[in-house]
Amino acid sequence: MNTKYQNQHVVIIGAGLGGLSAAISLATEGFTVELIEKNDKVGGKLNSLSKDGFTFDLGPSILTMPHIFDRLFTQAGRQREDYIQFQKVEPHWRNFFEDGTRIDLSSDPIIMRQELDKLGIGVADDFNRFMAYSKKLCTETEAGYFEHGLDSFWALLKFYGPLRSLLSFDVFRSMDQGVRRYIRHPKLADILNYFIKYVGSSPYDSPALMNLLPHIQFEYGLWYVNGGMYGIAQGLERLAVELGVQIRLNTAVTEILHQDQRVTAVCLDNGERLSADIVVSNMEVIPAMQTLLHSPASDLKKMQKFAPSCSGLVLHLGVDCLYPQLAHHNFFYSQHPREHFKSIFKSHCLSDDPTIYLVAPVKTDPNQAPSGCEIIKILPHIPHLDPDKPITPEEYLALRERILIKLERMGLTDLRQHIVTEEYWTPLDIQARYYSNQGSIYGVVADRFKNLGFKAPQRSAQFNNLYFVGGSVNPGGGMPMVTLSGQLVRDKILNDLSLFPPF
């Protein structure tokens, strides 16, 4: 192992996927790494719960871009397959509409065309033209934004050049406008717009660049981890420990100490003080600035453009029957998608007719539930916590009821009568457990008028040895992106140390 940086002590706050990835990436380079986690297990939002014979993945359910995880292991001289086994999911997901239309998305081009032909003549050709556009967006983004960790629009302009940046990234359109350049059928437009689920934003506000998401999914596939998605966190934890990372669980950081332009130590809730040469925060940027750095109002004001993504009402249901019409991943669409997104991102109220994401992991992994039983995970996007428009517990429960009634109407017969166990989370629970900004799930919203789709920079603007990882910084939310953020922060730290070597 490289010993050049062994005297550099790195403290990482939070053992989500971004923190674990940063810890592994830095330990691989020879840094001495200590990882502090307030909860009783690693993984952050990637969490699990066993209850009444059911095993629930409490956090992310969709996995793509497996090569980003592979890179963590190969750089450490390991093989990912020895730690985490991925399994392909087919179809990618199933789309349900109120009029009875059902369309699958599949990686098999023959099946995909057959599915699109259900919508009419020419729909498949429109889709293929859109996917060529999506591929172009993705290819450009991977070359710079992902590979080099570009952290702002100005960095984008410098890397690509002004003309190429404007033309290649379709910067003057929203995601929805980009979709409708190619797609005429409204149902297919709704399906492609809902790829925005990966970043918890609105297709009507997000930049058209977000249309790279379909190519990512079709190019790299959808995957599952046998035994549940939490196996990713377990595999990364095992690798981190093998590399010498010290992990402290059930320990909260209460403050980051600093002097002049450098952070010097972190304070723990047990009264201990840990000196640090470098600090990496997996806590979201704005909560960290508020609670750990006690940043002045002037610094926080500069961060307003990095507003929180949406949150979710999360229902994990164990039911005593099987619903054969479900795939592993399913979407039940709103009849009025524009109004649905407006309620979340403009009005900050609960949608009357939400689009519902539903996961049925037993379709791929029957061992997650008792024989003859089903896991139904339900996640409609809802507003993040807004102190000016608080939502009451009664309103959240009323939404739960509307959702279950809608699912029953759309084919999940007597769903409420079949529930034998339930785990129910609101944005308040998400904020309390993960310190997320206003209960957001995906970090920072992608909004072309607020931030052009960029998240907060990974380097602190105030302190030259403080860095951030996770969904609130570039390249953004979702398991692959937060894992990539840990690798990119290593690159930034190495570059900074090469320019300004430690004493």
Structure tokens at 256: 């980051």
Does 384 map to a domain? no
pLDDT at site 456: 95
- One domain for residues 131 and 215: yes
Average pLDDT over residues 416-424: 97
Distances 497 to 92, 483, 490, 493, 503 between C-alpha atoms, Å: 43, 22, 11, 6, 10
What was the pLDDT predicted at 155? 85
Looking at residue 184, its pLDDT comes to 97
Beta strands 32-36 and 102-105 are: unpaired
pLDDT of residue 72: 96
SS3 354: coil
Q: Supply the pLDDT for residue 347.
A: 96
Strands 246-248 and 253-259: unpaired
Q: How far apart are CA 80 and CA 233, in angstroms?
A: 12
Same domain membership, residue 238 and residue 153 = no
Q: How many Å apart are CA 433 and CA 431, to the nearest integer?
A: 6
pTM of the shown model: 0.95
Q: Among the three residues 220, 235, 257, which one is the final residue of a domain in this structure?
A: 220
Tally of CB atoms within 10 A around 114: 13
| Mean pLDDT within 103-118 | 97
* Domain-embedded: residue 383: no
Is position 349 within any domain?
A: no
Residues 137 and 191 in one domain: yes
Predicted confidence (pLDDT) per residue in 322-345, tens digit:
999 999 999 999 999 999 999 999
Is residue 263 domain-resident? yes
| 234 domain-assigned | yes
CA dist., res. 39 & res. 88, Å (int): 30
Q: With respect to residue 353, please indicate whether it lies within any of the assigned structural domains.
A: no
Average pLDDT score over residue span 368-394: 97
pLDDT score at 160: 85
Q: Are residues 193 and 243 in the same domain?
A: no
**Whole-number pLDDT of residue 38:** 95
Reference 270, options 36, 429, 45; nearest CA is 36
Domain count, the chain: 2
Same domain, 77 and 156: no
Residue 501: what pLDDT? 74
Same domain, 161 and 210: yes
CATH number for 35: 3.50.50.60
Question: Residue 461: in which H helix or E strand, if any?
Answer: none
Check whether 163 has a pLDDT greater than 70: no
413 contacts 321 by C-beta, under 8 angstroms: no
Reference 316, options 394, 395, 400; nearest CA is: 400
Res 151: pLDDT: 87
Instruction: Quickly state the pLDDT bin for 502 (edges 50, 70, 90).
Output: low
- By residue range, what is the domain housing residue 264? 9-46+56-87+227-303+455-499
Give 174's strand partners: 207
Task: Map tokens 């991925």 to a residue.
Answer: 86
Give the mean pLDDT of the chain: 95
In this structure, the answer to whether residues 129 and 180 fall within a common structural domain is yes
pLDDT at position 328: 98
Give me the long-range contacts of 338-345 (CB less than 8 A, separation at least 24).
338/204, 341/202, 341/203, 341/204, 341/205, 342/204, 343/383, 344/202, 344/310, 344/381, 344/382, 344/383, 345/201, 345/202, 345/205, 345/310, 345/383, 345/445
287 inside domain: yes
Q: Does residue 252 sit in the same domain as residue 206? A: no
- On the question of pLDDT at 166 being above 70, the answer is no
Q: Are residues 193 and 216 both part of a single domain?
A: yes
The last residue of a domain, from among 202, 220, 238: 220
Residue 5 pLDDT > 90 = no
Q: What is the pLDDT of residue 241?
A: 98
Among residues 457, 47, 34, which one has the least CA distance to residue 233? 47
Asked if 257 and 195 sit in the same domain, the reply is no
Q: What is the pLDDT of residue 498?
A: 87
Vertex 305: Cα angle to 302 and 310 (nearest 5): 135
Mind listing the pLDDT tens digit for each residue in 30-72?
999 999 999 999 999 999 999 999 999 998 999 999 999 999 9
Query: Above 90 in pLDDT, residue 147?
Result: no
Residue 40 has a pLDDT of 95
Residue 503 has pLDDT above 60, yes or no: no
Calculate the CA 50 to chain-centre distance.
Answer: 23
In a domain, residue 392? The reply is no
Q: DSSP string of 285-323? A: HHHHHHHTS---HHHHHTTTTS-B--EE-EEEEEESS--
Average pLDDT of span 123-137: 97
Structure tokens at 428: 């308040």
Same domain, 145 and 183: yes
Q: What share of the chain is helix, strand, coil (3-state, %, to 5)?
A: 40, 20, 40
The string of pLDDT tens digits covering residues 433-480 is 999 999 999 999 999 999 989 999 999 999 999 999 999 999 999 999
The answer for residues whose C-beta is within 8 angstroms of residue 158's C-beta and 6 or more apart is none
Nearest Cα residue to 391 out of 289, 313, 305: 313
Query: How confident is the model over 260-267, as a mean pLDDT?
Result: 96
pLDDT at position 153 over 70? yes
Q: What integer is the mean pLDDT of 179-208?
A: 97
**4 vs 254, which has greater pLDDT?**
254
Domain-ending residue, one of 176, 196, 220: 220
Residues 256 and 195 in one domain: no
Q: What is the mean pLDDT of residues 261-272?
A: 96
